[in-house]
C-alpha cells in the first residue's frame, strides 16, 4: 500500500511538472490575453521539443503508425499514444547531430501528460485520432502555411471543399489548447465559432481557407496561432534601439512603435506589461515590428516602392490550383518498392519544391529558367535519395538474415549436446585448439612487427653513416680512416630510459641480425657501405623467408583444425539422423 501511494504521488508530480514550470515563468503578468496565450503555448512547444519536429515529419509519423487509414472518430488508448510519441522523438534524435541530442524519455513524459490533461480530463484513458492529429499538427514546428494546408486536407471532401462540420470539430479540438493553459475564457469554443470565421462564404476552397486564417488580423478565436509562429521567428532578432520606458539600449524579440508619440518605442517586455511614460498612453495605437531596418534601408525601400520597382501588398500565401488535392497524410507514398507509388511521392515532393521555388522567385525575382532548373535538380536529387534508401534497406535486411543464419549454424543446440556429450567435448577441444593457434598467430605477428621496426632502424642508420662519411671525405681529405671507423652506430632495438645514453658498438647494435652484417662492420677499415647495405638486405630476406615458412605452418595447422571441425559437424549430422531412426517407436 505504501508503494502504491508513492507511485501515485510520483505520477501526479510528473503530470503537474510542466504546468508548475510554466507558472514559474510568470506569464500571467502579460496584460493582453493573445500574447499571454501564445507565450504559454510556445513554452509548452519548446519544453516538449515539439519545435524541432517539422510538420512534414509529423505527417510521416502519422503514416508510419497507421493513423492515416483510421477514421477521425476512432479512439486510441494512452499506451498507443505513448508508442506514437516515442517513434516521433526517436526519429527526431536520428536527424539531430550528436551534440544536440534531446532527452527522449523526458520529452515523451511531458508531452504525454500534457495531451492527457488537455483531451482526457475525465480520465477515460482514450482520445480520438482527429484530436491527436489536430493537437500535434498545431503544436509542432514548421511553417503555418504547411500546417493549414494539412488541416484543410483533413476537413475537406473529395472535391476539395471544406466540410463545415469537420471544421467545427477541428475548432473544438484546437481550442482546448488555450483552455489547457488556463486561457479558456478568452479563447474557448462556442457554437458560433465557425460562422464567426466564415460569416458569408458557403463554398470554402483551399485559397479561401488560407485567406481567412492568414489574414491580418486572423479570426478572433485563432489569433494566437499566427502569433505563436511570429514569436518563434523573433526570439533572436536584435533591435539597436533604446526602450523609451526601461531605457534598455537594445531590444530582443518584438519592437513596438507608437503611432501618435513621435519616436516613442517600447521593448516587448514593457509593452506586454502595459508600461508607459510621459505623454504616451496604453490607449495609443502601437505597431509591432519583427525586424530592424536602418534609415538608409528604409529610404531605399520607400523609393523603390514609389517608383513601382516593388510589388505593393504582396499576397500572404501563394495561390494554389482549385482542383482538389489528395489528403496530405502521405499514405499513398508508403512503399518504395512500387514504381507507381514512388512516382506519386516524387510528384508530391515536386509540387512542394515548386512552391518553395515560387516563393524564392517572389523575393529575388529570378527568371523562370532558374525555377525550372531548380525544380529538375531537386527532383533528380529526391529520386537518387529514394533509390539509395531502397538499396540500403535491402542490404541491411540481407545482412540481418546472414547474421541469423551464421548464429544458428555456429551455436550447437541443447538437444545435440544432450544426445552426444562426447561430440560436445570434441567441439570444445577443437575450439581450444583454435584459440591456441590464434594466440600463436598473434605472437608471430608481433614478432614480425618488431623485426620490421629493427630492420627499418638499421637501414636508416646505414644511410646516415654513408652521408657522414661522404661529408667528411669532402671536407678533410687527409682525415684518417680509423677515425670514421671508430664512430658508434646506436640502434634502438630496445627502448632505453630517458636519462641513459646508448653506447653500443656497431657489433652490439647488429647482434642477432646475421653473420654477414656483423662481418660488414667488424673490419677496422670502412668498407663500401653500398655493398654492406646489400649484405644487410640479404640477411633481411633470409629472415623474412623463415618467418613466411612459420606462418605457412600455422596456416596448415588452422586448415587441419578446420577439417577436424567439419568432420565433427558431419558426426553431429549422422548422430542426429541415427538418433531419429532409433527413437521411432514400434508397435
Q: What is the mean pLDDT of residues 314-328?
A: 63
Is the per-residue pLDDT at 569 higher than 70?
no
Is the per-residue pLDDT at 321 higher than 80?
no
Is the per-residue pLDDT at 181 higher than 50?
yes
pLDDT the model gives residue 278: 87
> Rg for the chain (alpha carbons), in Å?
40
Q: Of the ranges 223-227, 239-243, 523-527, which one carries the lowest mean pLDDT score? A: 523-527
**Alpha-carbon distance 443 to 151, whole Å?**
68
Per the prediction, the chain carries an average pLDDT of: 76
Instruction: Quick: pLDDT tens for 499-541.
Output: 433 444 444 444 444 554 445 444 444 445 556 656 666 776 7
Is the per-residue pLDDT at 46 higher than 50?
yes
- Cβ 433 vs Cβ 561: under 8 Å: yes
pLDDT category, 386, cuts 50, 70, 90?
confident
Write out 357-417 in H/E/C secondary structure. Answer: HHHHHHHHCCCHHHHHHHHHHHHHHHHHHHHHHHHHHHHHHHHHHHHHHHHHHHCCCHHHH
Q: What is the mean pLDDT of residues 443-464?
A: 81
Q: Which residue has the higher pLDDT, 33 or 195?
A: 33
- Cβ 489 vs Cβ 506: under 8 Å: yes
Is the per-residue pLDDT at 77 higher than 60?
yes
- Cβ 108 vs Cβ 82: under 8 Å: yes
The grid coordinates listed for 561 are 583444425
pLDDT category, 476, cuts 50, 70, 90?
very low
pLDDT category, 384, cuts 50, 70, 90?
confident
- Cβ 506 vs Cβ 521: under 8 Å: yes
pLDDT category, 86, cuts 50, 70, 90?
very high
pLDDT the model gives residue 504: 42
Amino acid at each position: 500500500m505504501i508503494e502504491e501511494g508513492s507511485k501515485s504521488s510520483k505520477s501526479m508530480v510528473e503530470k503537474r511538472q510542466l504546468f508548475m514550470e510554466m507558472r514559474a515563468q510568470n506569464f500571467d503578468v502579460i496584460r493582453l490575453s493573445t500574447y499571454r496565450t501564445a507565450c504559454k503555448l510556445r513554452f509548452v512547444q519548446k519544453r516538449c521539443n515539439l519545435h524541432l519536429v517539422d510538420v512534414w515529419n509529423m505527417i510521416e509519423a502519422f503514416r508510419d503508425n497507421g493513423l492515416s487509414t483510421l477514421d477521425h472518430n476512432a479512439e486510441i488508448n494512452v499506451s498507443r499514444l505513448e508508442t506514437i510519441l516515442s517513434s516521433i522523438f526517436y526519429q527526431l534524435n536520428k536527424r539531430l547531430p550528436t551534440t544536440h541530442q534531446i532527452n527522449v524519455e523526458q520529452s515523451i513524459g511531458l508531452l504525454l501528460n500534457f495531451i492527457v490533461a488537455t483531451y482526457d480530463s475525465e480520465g477515460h484513458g482514450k482520445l480520438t485520432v482527429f484530436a491527436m492529429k489536430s493537437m500535434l499538427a498545431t503544436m509542432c514546428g514548421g511553417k503555418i502555411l504547411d500546417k493549414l494546408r494539412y488541416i484543410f486536407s483533413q476537413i475537406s471532401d473529395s472535391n476539395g471543399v471544406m466540410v463545415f462540420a469537420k471544421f467545427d470539430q477541428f475548432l473544438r479540438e484546437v481550442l482546448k489548447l488555450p483552455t489547457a493553459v488556463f486561457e479558456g475564457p478568452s479563447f474557448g469554443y462556442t457554437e458560433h465559432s465557425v460562422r464567426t470565421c466564415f460569416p458569408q462564404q458557403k463554398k470554402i476552397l483551399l485559397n479561401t481557407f488560407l485567406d481567412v486564417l492568414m489574414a491580418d488580423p486572423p479570426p478572433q478565436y485563432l489569433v494566437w496561432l499566427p502569433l505563436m509562429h511570429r514569436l518563434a521567428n523573433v526570439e533572436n532578432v536584435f533591435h539597436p534601439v533604446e526602450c523609451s520606458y526601461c531605457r534598455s539600449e537594445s531590444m530582443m524579440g518584438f519592437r513596438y512603435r507608437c503611432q501618435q508619440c513621435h519616436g516613442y518605442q517600447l521593448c516587448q517586455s514593457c509593452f506586454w506589461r502595459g508600461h508607459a511614460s510621459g505623454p504616451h498612453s496604453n490607449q495609443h495605437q502601437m505597431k509591432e515590428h519583427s525586424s530592424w531596418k536602418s534609415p538608409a534601408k528604409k529610404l531605399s525601400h520607400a523609393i523603390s516602392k514609389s517608383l513601382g520597382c516593388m510589388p505593393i501588398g504582396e499576397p500572404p500565401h501563394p495561390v494554389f490550383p482549385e482542383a482538389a488535392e489528395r489528403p496530405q497524410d502521405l499514405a499513398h507514398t508508403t512503399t518504395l518498392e512500387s514504381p507507381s507509388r514512388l512516382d506519386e511521392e516524387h510528384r508530391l515532393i515536386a509540387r512542394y519544391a515548386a512552391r518553395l521555388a515560387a516563393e524564392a522567385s517572389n523575393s529575388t525575382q529570378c527568371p523562370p529558367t532558374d525555377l525550372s532548373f531548380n525544380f529538375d535538380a531537386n527532383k533528380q536529387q529526391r529520386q537518387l535519395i529514394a533509390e539509395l534508401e531502397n538499396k540500403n534497406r535491402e542490404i541491411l535486411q540481407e545482412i540481418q538474415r546472414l547474421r541469423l543464419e551464421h548464429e544458428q549454424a555456429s551455436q550447437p543446440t541443447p538437444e545435440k549436446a544432450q544426445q552426444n556429450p562426447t561430440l560436445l567435448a570434441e567441439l570444445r577441444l577443437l575450439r581450444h585448439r583454435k584459440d591456441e593457434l590464434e594466440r600463436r598467430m598473434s605472437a608471430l605477428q608481433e614478432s614480425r612487427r618488431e623485426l620490421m621496426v629493427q630492420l627499418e632502424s638499421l637501414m636508416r642508420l646505414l644511410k646516415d653513416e654513408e652521408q657522414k662519411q661522404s661529408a667528411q671525405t669532402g671536407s678533410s681529405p687527409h682525415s684518417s680512416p680509423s677515425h670514421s671507423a671508430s664512430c658508434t652506430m646506436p640502434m634502438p632495438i630496445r627502448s632505453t630510459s630517458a636519462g641513459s645514453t646508448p653506447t653500443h658498438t656497431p657489433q652490439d647494435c647488429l647482434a642477432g641480425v646475421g653473420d654477414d652484417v656483423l662481418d660488414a662492420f667488424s673490419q677496422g677499415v670502412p668498407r663500401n657501405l653500398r655493398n654492406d647495405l646489400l649484405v644487410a638486405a640479404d640477411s633481411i630476406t633470409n629472415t623474412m623467408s623463415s618467418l613466411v615458412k612459420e606462418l605457412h605452418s600455422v596456416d596448415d595447422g588452422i586448415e587441419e583444425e578446420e577439417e577436424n571441425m567439419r568432420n565433427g559437424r558431419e558426426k553431429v549430422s549422422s548422430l542426429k539422423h541415427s538418433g531419429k531412426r532409433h527413437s521411432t517407436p514400434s508397435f
